[in-house]
Each structure stands twice: as structure tokens, then as C-alpha cells.
Structure 1
Amino acid sequence: MTTAKARREEIYHLAVTTGLASVEELSRHFRVTASTIRRDLAHLNEEGKLTRTYGGAVALGAHPEPSLRQRTGEAYEQKHAIAAWAAAEVKDGENILLDGGSTVGALAHALRGRENLSVTTPGINTLQELADSPGIQVDCLGGRLRGVSQTFVGPLAETALERMSFDRVFLGADAVTADDGLCEADHAQTRLKELMARRGDAVYVLADSGKLGKRPFHAWAKLALPWTLVTDSGADPGQVALFSEAGVQVQLVQVPAGQQASA
């Protein structure tokens, strides 16, 4: 059972990364009463972390970027369901590009043991996942290391991409919207994602439903159509409709029963 302290820490994390801080949403998310959430918000307000608003609260200060380690444990079942679907799309003999991030890292894990694959990545977690898979040739996009995301970015990585092409490109994102595309905390990262998308015959964005329609940061990468959004079946139907209307192909992946609400 989640302790009050742990719940309050997660409430603060949700507020600064996704804006999820309404009493109604938080009550559903944690499966506690609205009065319990109001007490949590009052406590966080007293600590100077949140400021109360009508019906909820907002975080004080800028949105911090969660580390890769923090993100790996969020929406765990959704991410692995998405990764399993994406892994099934990859055919033997293909040359694919895997972005950094926790969801694409889960895809790398799902590909372990495959034969006759070529994988290129800027993500340290993907390199670690595939390092002992003899049937997979792994190339690294080197460059400047962003410690918080554990990915390489910058001119060296961008220049290397100009010499490559891929059967499939799998991208992650901090958030994604139908109108502006991928949202990230860092402009160098969005620039690299935009370039990666240009080098693939088929482009997929792997994003759990909690990331749809959110705008936590101010760096964006708009992708040229066609591309496929792969998300879980818990996605808001209104958001799914917005992506479909924008010309994006949406793939909803089922999460095993009883696990959707546990993330």
C-alpha cells in the first residue's frame, strides 16, 4: 500500500512533469478519496512545492526533466506492452534505429536474442540491453552525452545520420501532441529526433497514454507524415481522434487485464 509520503512525492512529480494535479484526476489515479488528495495538496502547499488552485494545484517553478532511471519505472506495464507490439513489427534482416528513452529501451529488451538485425542507437540503455546479443549488430550514434537522458546528441550524431538509412525508426518522447509533435526538455534532443525520423522508411513514436496531449516542456519536433503513434488502450478517445484527424496512424495496444490501472 502506498504511504502518504510516497503518494505526495508522486503527486509532486506528476504536477511538474505532466501537469496532473487536479483533485479528481489524482483521486482516480491513486484510488483514494478526494478529501485525502486535498490533504496531500495542502501538505505540499505548506512545503512550498505546489500552489493551490480551484479544483487542484500547480507546481511552483519550472518543469524539471525526470531522469531515465525515474522514467523507467513509470507506466511500466504500458511501456512493455507497447514494446512487445513494436518488436513484433521488426523483421529479420532489417536495419532499424532505436531512440533513447525508457519505452524504446523496453523495445530493445524485447529484441534481445533476435538474429540477423542491425540496430543503431544514441541511447546507452539500448547499448546495454543488446551488448550480449550476438545475432544483432549494434552501432552507436556518438556525440555529446546528456546525462539525464543517457543519450548522445549534437553535431557528431547528426552528421553520422546523414550517411544512414533505416527500414524502421522507433522514437520516444517526453510528451506528444497532434498539432506540435514530440515534446522534449532539450532542443538538441528534438533536433536529433527530427533528423532520425527523416532517415526511416517507417517511423513509429512509442508513447504511453499518459503522454498524449501533454506539453511539459518547450522544445518540439514536428514529424512529416506518415508516421505511427503506438500507445496503450488506456488512451483518451478524444486524444486518439485528434491524432487520427491530423493524419497520424494510431495503434492502440492492449495492456493485460488488471495492470492498466496499476501504473
Structure 2
Amino acid sequence: MSTTARERRRDIVELAHTTGLASVDELSRRFEVTPSTIRRDLAELTRQGEIARTYGGAMPLGAPGAEPTFRQRNREAGVAKAEIARYARTLVRDGETLLFDAGSSVAALAREARSGLVATVATTSIAVIQQLADSDGIHLECLGGTLRPASQGFVGPLAEAALERMTFDRVFLGADGVLASGHVVEADLVQTRLKELMCRQSERVYVLADGSKLGRATFHARAELPDGWTLVTDATATPEALAAFEAAGVDVVVAPAG
């Protein structure tokens, strides 16, 4: 089958909606192109917001199990994330070395921290870099690696190698979901591996998660959190959800509204 890139990408979107999942190998055989060509197609369609990437393939946006893009996450629970970010900003002190994970809640914290804070911030997040690049008081360390378009964050061996050479006073983690068992839920294992390393290199661990993410296990990859971690959430969290974390001995903070 010979198709142009535009025709092939149109057909990929249609297949993602009709089958729910199309793997790279399946698409490569179907369109008689190399797997690397298909990966470029998927990356471009993800950038355009046409599909959501999964491990090995693609799914339509909004499908069960599909990973939302950073742009989608950024539009969700805006008030809650702003409240969480304002509280999280009060936790940091001048002179500290901080680690900012990828994620829209952590990017909101970066917006709060860009003025008035004198600190070193290391990050895997493009959004955090954009927020802090011109901040006079912040020494910014950008951790490289492989870019995940959906999260707009860097992962993989290069990011891990950089982290192993640093230690931090505090790490602020984002999450697709967070469980009272002491686990952060993410779309793939490369993310959870990186988050566990972030925790090991940090003295204090904070998970920033609005109420909709508490107890949510949309994906199967999980990062284990260390003892003594803190959950920072907002007033949309239900009493039942909060009680589960408190019963597990988690330090829970509900950010004040307004």
C-alpha cells in the first residue's frame, strides 16, 4: 500500500477510533512503512492533539486507558491546581535545592515560585523550564533525556544519570493517580522508575494531586513512595478519600481555597 504521510496519518486516527489500539508493528505492516516512520507519524499526531500515545501504539483521545496530553491536563481542575500550587510555594525556603517533576500541577507551582524565590531548581519538565527560565533568583538545572510528548517531560537513562549526581531538599511530584497504599500511578514504567529515583535523591517528598486523582488507578505502572511522604490536595477531595490516606499514615494537607 502506497500512501502519502497525510493520508497515512488520517487513516491512523481513524483506526485508533475504530479499534481502540493500533500498535506500531501492526501499523507498519498495514501501511508498508518502517516502524520508525510510524513512530514519527504518532509523534506528530500526538503533537497535533489527534491521538494519545500508549506503550507501543496509540489510542483516541478520551478513550479509557488513553493518556491525556499535557495541554489537556493543563485545562483540567485549574482552580484546584492553583490552590495546591499556592500552598506548595509556602513550603520552600530560600537557599534550598528543589526538584520539580513534570506535570501541570508542578508547572503551576513553578509559576508561583518564579518571583521572590532564591533557590536551585532542577527539573525534567519543559513547562517548568519555560516558567523559570527568566527568573532572577532561581538557578535552573535542566535534566535531559528522552522527551515524552504527552507529559512534556524528559525520561530515560540520561535523565536518570543526571539525577544520580544530585541530591535535593524537596521534590514535588505530579501524578496521573495516587493511592493510599503509597504509590503514584503513571502511564508507563519509564515514568515510575524516574519518580522512584527522584524520591531516593530527595529529603522530603510531596505529591501534588487534586481531589480527582486520589485513589485513581487508570494505568498499571506504579512508583512506590518512601515513608514520610506528604500529599498536597485540595477541597474537592472527598472525606472518604482523605480518610483512606490518613488511615495509612500519610501526611495529608488540604490546600486552603482562595
The TM-score range, normalised by the shorter chain, is 0.7 to 0.9
Percent of aligned pairs with the same amino acid: 53
The structural deviation recorded for 1:62 is 4.5
- Summarize the Cα distance change of 1:134–1:175 in structure 2 as closer, same or farther, 3 Å threshold: same
> Which of 190, 196, 199 is residue 197 of structure 1 equivalent to?
199
1:148-174 superposed Cα distances (whole Å, 9 cap, x missing partner): 110000011111111111111100000
- Summarize the Cα distance change of 1:163–1:64 in structure 2 as closer, same or farther, 3 Å threshold: same
Q: Residue 167 of structure 2 corresponds to which residue in structure 1?
A: 165
Q: Residue 227 of structure 1 corresponds to which residue in structure 2?
A: 229
Q: Residue 256 of structure 2 corresponds to which residue in structure 1?
A: 254
**Alignment partners' CA distance in 1, 2:221 and 2:78:** 25
Q: CA RMSD in A?
A: 1.7
Q: Residue 37 of structure 2 corresponds to which residue in structure 1?
A: none
| Unaligned segments of structure 2, at least 5 residues | 1-19, 21-60
Q: Residue 208 of structure 2 corresponds to which residue in structure 1?
A: 206
**Alignment partners' CA distance in 1, 2:232 and 2:247:** 16
1:70 aligns to 2:72 (yes or no): yes
Q: Residue 49 of structure 1 corresponds to which residue in structure 2?
A: none
Q: Residue 96 of structure 2 corresponds to which residue in structure 1?
A: 94
State how 1:7-156 maps to structure 2 within 5 Å. 62-156=64-158
Q: Residue 24 of structure 1 corresponds to which residue in structure 2?
A: none
**Aligned-partner SS, 2:231:** strand
State how 1:172-187 maps to structure 2 within 5 Å. 172-179=174-181, 181-187=183-189
- Cα pair 1:97 1:170 within 8 Å, conserved: yes
**Alignment partners' CA distance in 2, 1:169 and 1:245:** 24
- Cα pair 1:229 1:250 within 8 Å, conserved: yes
- Cα pair 2:107 2:128 within 8 Å, conserved: yes
**Alignment partners' CA distance in 1, 2:97 and 2:182:** 28
| Greater than 4 Å deviation, 4+ residue runs | 59-62
> Which of 238, 248, 256 is residue 236 of structure 1 equivalent to?
238
Aligned length: 199
Q: Residue 24 of structure 2 corresponds to which residue in structure 1?
A: none
**Alignment partners' CA distance in 2, 1:207 and 1:230:** 6
- Summarize the Cα distance change of 1:251–1:180 in structure 2 as closer, same or farther, 3 Å threshold: closer
1:194-214 superposed Cα distances (whole Å, 9 cap, x missing partner): 110111111100000010011
Q: Residue 220 of structure 2 corresponds to which residue in structure 1?
A: 218
